[in-house]
């Protein structure tokens, strides 16, 4: 990829005000910007920044037509589309620009070994259909709920008057196998496949890498020595973001788990709490609403496979005058797209 230059950063700065933020979690937690993500990708370690692709009309000296950013996942051949500009509402030609940008990011990241691209699209603005035409598919939908600081403080005060204790405990490495079993029980097979959890690779190793890319800290919800649920909390400067997992046959404990989660998040200081609930997690949704959470939006979780690995068997050849063995061939095909985009 081409190192960032002043002209590219200036183009990004001009486009970011008219783009679509797809990394809602980072925006709500720390109010990050596409420009800071572009700079962080070159000066920080880990997955703090994002790879940036700028599309120009005819070379870098011409007007920038659009930009897309993708964040690589740690220890996994995956990346998340985090920002794309201009928005569909801002530019009548944005659809064509998006197609070219998505083709370029698929091609470039595929050549780096990225096998899956993920995107989280807000519903109701036509963005999902554009991504679908670009090769992405929806593997589930997610509702976002919000608990305001005032309501969180009320819930905590009610628990304190009843002298209720928090039983959630921090996850340890030895809990990995039970966590994997819970994930497999809660998550439909098609979604496990989309999240690359159903493969022939080592399951526990994949779980650890996948869990690590969710950020935050995991806590286990147990009763009588049995694991019933998981609470994943990511704390930010502006808010906290939570994911909840609960066994289907333990729905009667959903209210307790949500109440303990609120108390744990608010232990340091009260702040807005966001919770993402997928469409197959109905029991959690009802418990959140009972606790005072308000529905904010629905978004579609999408995935695109950038590479396809195939093992081709070649028949054994036995000529009359010489013997020669042709080994099996493994090929990798990358999605192609000619966009003329400059990348950094």
Per-residue pLDDT tens over the stretch 232-277: 999 999 999 999 999 989 999 999 999 999 999 998 778 999 999 9
Closest listed residue to residue 25, CA positions, set 130, 126, 146: 146
In a shared domain, residues 153 and 258: yes
Residues 18 and 101 both lie in one domain: yes
Q: In the prediction, which pLDDT does 343 show?
A: 47
Element (H, E) at 219: strand 217-223
Query: Cα-flanking dihedrals φ and ψ of residue 147, to 5°?
Result: -115, 120
Q: Are residues 101 and 23 in the same domain?
A: yes
Tokens (6 digits) for 174 = 């030895």
- Tell me, yes or no, whether 225 lies in a domain: yes
Asked if residue 324 belongs to a domain, the reply is: no
Residue 8 phi, psi dihedral angles, 5° rounding: -65, -45
Q: Looking at residues 309-317, what average pLDDT do you find?
A: 55
Q: Would you state the pLDDT for residue 34? A: 82
Say whether both 212 and 294 belong to one domain: yes
Q: Do 166 and 292 fall within a single domain?
A: yes
Based on the fold, state whether residues 233 and 285 are members of the same structural domain. Answer: yes
Assign residue 237 the CATH number of its domain.
3.40.630.30
Query: Does one domain contain both 166 and 261?
Result: yes
Residue 148 covered by a domain: yes
Q: Are residues 171 and 45 in the same domain?
A: no
The answer to whether residue 184 sits within a structural domain is yes
* pLDDT over 90, % of the chain: 52
Is residue 106, in this structure, part of any structural domain at all? yes
Q: What is the pLDDT of residue 210?
A: 53
Question: 288 with 220, same domain?
Answer: yes
Q: What domain range includes position 22? A: 6-115+334-343
Answer whether residue 125 is part of any domain.
no
Q: Are strands 273-278 and 294-305 parallel, antiparallel or unpaired?
A: unpaired
Same domain, 172 and 293: yes
Domain assignment present for 329: no
Residue 342 has pLDDT above 90, yes or no: no
How high does pLDDT run on average in the chain?
Answer: 82
Residue 207 inside a domain? The answer is yes
Reported as a single tens digit per residue, the pLDDT across 117-173 is 999 999 877 899 999 999 999 999 999 999 999 999 999 999 988 889 999 999 998
| pLDDT of 312 | 55
The pLDDT > 70 percentage for the chain reads: 78
Residue 117's DSSP bridge partners are 79, 304
Residue 89 has pLDDT above 70, yes or no: yes
Closest CA to 229 of 255, 250, 210: 250
The answer to whether 19 and 84 are in contact (CB under 8 A) is: yes
Residues 110 and 244 in one domain: no
Higher pLDDT, 176 or 322: 176
As a 3-state breakdown, the chain gives helix, strand, coil percent values, each rounded to 5, of 35, 30, 35
- Give, in degrees to the nearest 5, the angle at Cα 97 between 94 and 99: 110
Cβ partners under 8 Å of residue 271, min gap 6 = 149, 152, 238, 239, 240, 265
Quickly tell me which residue has 């192609």 as its tokens: 336
One domain for residues 157 and 273: yes
Q: How many residues does the chain have?
A: 344
Alpha carbon distances (Å) from 329 to 86, 113, 326, 332, 335:
42, 18, 9, 10, 20
Apex 124 CA angle, 304 and 54, nearest 5: 50
Determine the Cα–Cα distance for residues 206 and 137; give it in Å rounded to an integer: 22
Number of domains making up the chain: 2
- List the structure tokens of 148: 């305001």
- Residue located via tokens 């929806």: 138
pLDDT at position 290 is 95
Residues 15-70 have pLDDT tens digits of: 888 999 999 998 999 877 888 887 776 665 445 678 889 888 876 556 888 999 99
């Amino acid at each position: 990829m081409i190192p960032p230059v002043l002209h590219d950063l200036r183009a990004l700065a001009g486009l970011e005000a008219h783009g679509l933020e797809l990394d809602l979690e980072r925006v709500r937690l720390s109010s990050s910007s596409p420009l800071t993500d572009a700079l962080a990708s070159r000066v920080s370690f880990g997955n703090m920044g994002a790879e940036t692709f700028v599309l120009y009309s005819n070379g870098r000296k011409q007007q920038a037509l659009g930009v897309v950013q993708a964040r690589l996942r740690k220890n996994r051949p995956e990346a998340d589309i985090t920002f794309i500009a201009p928005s569909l509402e801002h530019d009548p030609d944005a659809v064509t620009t998006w197609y070219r940008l998505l083709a370029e990011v698929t091609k470039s990241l595929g050549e780096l070994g990225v096998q899956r691209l993920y995107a989280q699209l807000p519903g109701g603005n036509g963005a999902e259909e554009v991504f679908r035409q670009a090769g992405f598919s929806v593997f589930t939908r997610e509702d976002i709920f919000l608990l305001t600081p005032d309501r969180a403080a009320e819930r905590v005060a009610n628990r304190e008057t009843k002298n209720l204790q928090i039983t959630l405990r921090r996850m340890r490495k030895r809990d990995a196998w039970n966590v994997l079993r819970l994930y497999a029980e809660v998550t439909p097979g098609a979604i496990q496949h989309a999240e690359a959890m159903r493969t022939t690779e080592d399951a526990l190793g994949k779980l650890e890498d996948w869990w690590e890319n969710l950020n935050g800290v995991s806590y286990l919800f147990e009763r009588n020595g049995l694991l019933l649920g998981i609470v994943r909390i990511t704390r930010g400067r502006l808010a906290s973001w939570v994911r909840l997992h609960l066994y289907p046959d333990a729905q009667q404990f959903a209210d307790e788990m949500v109440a303990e989660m609120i108390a744990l998040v608010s232990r340091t200081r009260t702040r807005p709490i966001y919770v993402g609930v997928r469409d197959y997690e109905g029991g959690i949704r009802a418990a959140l609403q009972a606790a005072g959470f308000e529905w904010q939006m629905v978004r579609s979780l999408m995935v695109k496979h950038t590479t396809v690995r195939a093992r081709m068997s070649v028949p054994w050849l036995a000529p009359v005058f010489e013997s020669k063995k042709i080994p099996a061939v493994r090929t990798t095909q990358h999605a192609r797209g000619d966009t003329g985009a400059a990348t950094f």
